[in-house]
Amino acid sequence: MVANVQLTSEQLDELRAIDSPTIANAIEYFSIRPRVAGYCGSNVRCLTPDAGFMLGYAVTCKGDSTTEDKDRREHTELYRAIHAMQPLPVVVVIGDDGDPSRLHLACHAGEMMATTMKRVGAVGLVTNGGLRDIREINALRGFHYYGRGLVVAHGRPSIYDVGATVNIDGMEVRPGDLLHGDENGITVIPAEIAGQVAAKAREHRAMEEERLAEILSDDFVKQFDRVTQYR
């Protein structure tokens, strides 16, 4: 499993310093994918907002913790895939492969799995199912945790198909994709433009700051007062 594009450490640092909505705005300028694609929907939440901005290359797999007769525990293969990506930052992405109506009962990881993932090189975990042990995850300091919500029990956890393409609430993730996330959600940074996104994001943010200054100025309100007077 390899990254779809390998940026320099300096380029990664530039992206890591920018919020995810601004990254998403920057991607739109390049018109290389549909506007309603490439990012995660609102059913997947950031459970560790104090961890800052997440950036990493995807190591993917499927998981199912709600099917009683399924027992595929390929966790070691997953940990090996994470470690093989070092020294790159890795985000583990678990696509729930069980009954969609039981996603609220799914729990794909907790303290033990997350700690192991971090030890072998992961900076975060993303799933469209549930997670648990949030206090212990916060104690890991800097490990990013995204999921449908918190679930008390792990059910019957299975991990398998390491390296599969998965869909996380509308966001297709392939192994090696570069993911950027914060408390607003997650987006895939397309490989074709990954090296240009940070500069475009800074340019877009500067434009927004200029526009916000206009909106917050006294003159902005006065122009609406004048319109009202002439009605």
Give the CATH number for residue 217.
3.50.30.40
Query: Residues 219-229, buried b or exposed e (16+ Cβ, 10 A)?
Result: eeeeeeeeeee
**199-205: which pairs have CB atoms within 8 A and are 24 or more residues apart?**
200/26, 200/29, 200/30, 201/18, 201/22, 201/23, 201/25, 201/26, 202/18, 203/26, 204/22, 204/25, 204/26, 204/29, 205/18, 205/22
Are 72 and 160 a contacting pair, CB within 8 Å? Answer: yes
Within-domain flag for 4? no
DSSP 180: E
Within-domain flag for 65? yes
Residue 132 has pLDDT above 80, yes or no: yes
- Number of domains present in the structure of the chain: 1
What angle, 0 to 180 degrees and rounded to 10, lies between the N-to-C axes of helices 197-215 and 20-28? Answer: 110
Residue 97 has pLDDT above 80, yes or no: yes
Q: What's the pLDDT score for residue 2?
A: 72
What would the two tokens of residue 114 be?
A: 């997350």
Within-domain flag for 3? no
Q: What's the pLDDT score for residue 5?
A: 73
Residue 228 has pLDDT above 70, yes or no: no
CA–CA separation, 183 and 52 (whole Å): 8
Q: Is the peptide bond before 87 cis (omega within 30 degrees of 0)?
A: yes
Within-domain flag for 25? yes
pTM value? 0.92
Count of other CB atoms within 10 angstroms of residue 141 = 10
Residue-wise pLDDT tens digits, 2-25:
777 789 999 999 999 999 999 999
**Full residue range of the structural domain in which residue 108 is found:** 9-229
Within-domain flag for 60? yes
